[in-house]
Amino acid sequence: MSRIKTFNLPDLGEGLTEGEILAWLVKVGDTIELNQPIVEVETAKAAVEIPAKWAGQVQAIHHPEGTTVEVGTPIIAIDTDPGAGPLEAPSTTATPSGDLPTPSAASLAAVELAPAEGMVEPGLIGGAAPGGRTAVLVGYGPRTTAAKRRPRKNAPVPAQPATPAGVDHGVVVGDKPAAIPTIPAPQVHDRRDGASGGASGGAVLAKPPVRKLAKDLGVDLGTVTGSGPLGSITREDVHRAVNGAVAVAEPLAVTTAPSFGADREQRIPVKGVRKLTAENMSRSAFTAPHVTEFLTVDVTRAMKALDRLRGRREWRDVRVSPLLLVAKAVLLAVRRHPMVNSTWAGDEIVVKEYVNLGIAAATERGLIVPNIKDAGRLSLRELADSLTDLVQTAKSGRTSPAAMSGGTLTITNVGVFGVDTGTPILPPGESAILAFGAVREMPWVHKGKVKVRQVTTLGLSFDHRIIDGELGSKFLRDIGDFLADPEAALLAWT
């Protein structure tokens, strides 16, 4: 049995058929462990790290960073028994002419595609699955197709390898050659190694959010001892390094300036989250008849209630924000008006007892809408913790596709950008979305006198096939009533 195994891009689930290679976390020659993260891939819903399904030594990386690869396409070759002796393998150094070296027939014959079953224990990635199919990260059934390459801007174009006449340098599987190109090993991304590769020059194991944290805090990951699995560096390790350091560099603000061509235009590929968002918004805008209503509310009492909540001993370590009260208001209003939490299904309306509360989040990758599952059953403290976890996970780029599926009603907090409100578009399959605007000090008539009060504006968009004007108005009015006087609303409604 061949010791060289080729790992295909696995099925990432949720109907996703391709992914863009964001960063290789290993390079040719690295020794890797079973389930060690080897590559970061961006899908239309999330950026995920893919683990190795064999331990061994990296022999070849088939696609560079920036390549869009379809599910089932070979991406990396691993020598599963590097201690068995030297293996003739193609060099990763370009020849003086710029051509890639030609792999030898012996090395090509040693490469074997991963079989569908039997290589690892059932239940692990690549192990046996029901019905004789191959288990993948989520679901079953990756298909083998070619990669679609999208060249990076300003990236050098690799030269085609010189091929002697009559010689086919495809990878041999049985008696049939399969063309799998081998590219020069890419440099491991800076996010992986921090400021340097460490004193020992070895690989540094750390997830992308940890690498970003280290970069922002000026910590060289090569000097940090990891306490995580396989010696990986965790956020706590980075914070400990900061606390023990004499001085820490200030984080630098990085801004990406547009890169214009000779025609003074920039062309940005539509992919990933932006592509999915565009498809969803276009489908929703032209299938669900949208209506938007607005309500301006004096939230002074709500802001004072938050201050009192923060002052309580059991809440001192909890993140308490106005969004928490807005979420609670929405959940209570849904109980009073269940039809708002429903879906149009053609010949029927599906009303849902559970509320998977979506929170729109702006990330570096674009707009995503993860949701808190069954949020209506949570206490206020549990809701606060769930909101904090959702936001932190989204900012760090770790939101999973499952966390963004199954939403039933959404809040978009446009107030964090200093905007008063908006007319949001419904996420597909939902019948209502609330825009929460900025809380501002404004003149307001209170008890017959004009006083400075804290005021916000709410914007509710809803599907007019399900929600008529009366129901939408009552739902929005209840949210406003809760925010105007949370204590009174809780006493009256619960």
Q: Which residues are catalytic?
A: 464
- The CA distance from 274 to 266, in Å, is 16
Provide the 10 A C-beta neighbour count for residue 204.
25
Q: Tell me the C-alpha to C-alpha distance, in Å, between residue 428 and each of 84, 170, 182, 338.
A: 55, 44, 41, 18
Tokens of 410: 């959404």
Is residue 166 within a helix (H) or strand (E), and if so which, with residue range? none
Q: For residue 265, what is the DSSP state?
A: -
b/e sequence 355-370, b meaning 16+ C-beta within 10 Å? bbbbbbbeeebbebbb
Q: What is the DSSP string of 73-103?
A: -EEEEEES-GGG--------SPPTTSPPPPP
Q: What is the CA radius of gyration of the chain?
A: 27
Phi and psi at 434, nearest 5°, equal -110, 130
- The CA distance from 456 to 482, in Å, is 13
Contact predicate 222/196, CB 8 Å: yes
Alpha helices in 218-271 (DSSP H): 235-244
Strand partners, 443: 452
Alpha helices in 354-424 (DSSP H): 380-395
User: How many Å from the N-terminal Cα to the C-terminal Cα in the chain?
Assistant: 67
Q: Which of 308, 315, 314 is nearest to 487 (CA)?
A: 308
Residue 318: helix, strand or coil by DSSP? coil
Contact predicate 467/454, CB 8 Å: no
Contact predicate 361/370, CB 8 Å: yes
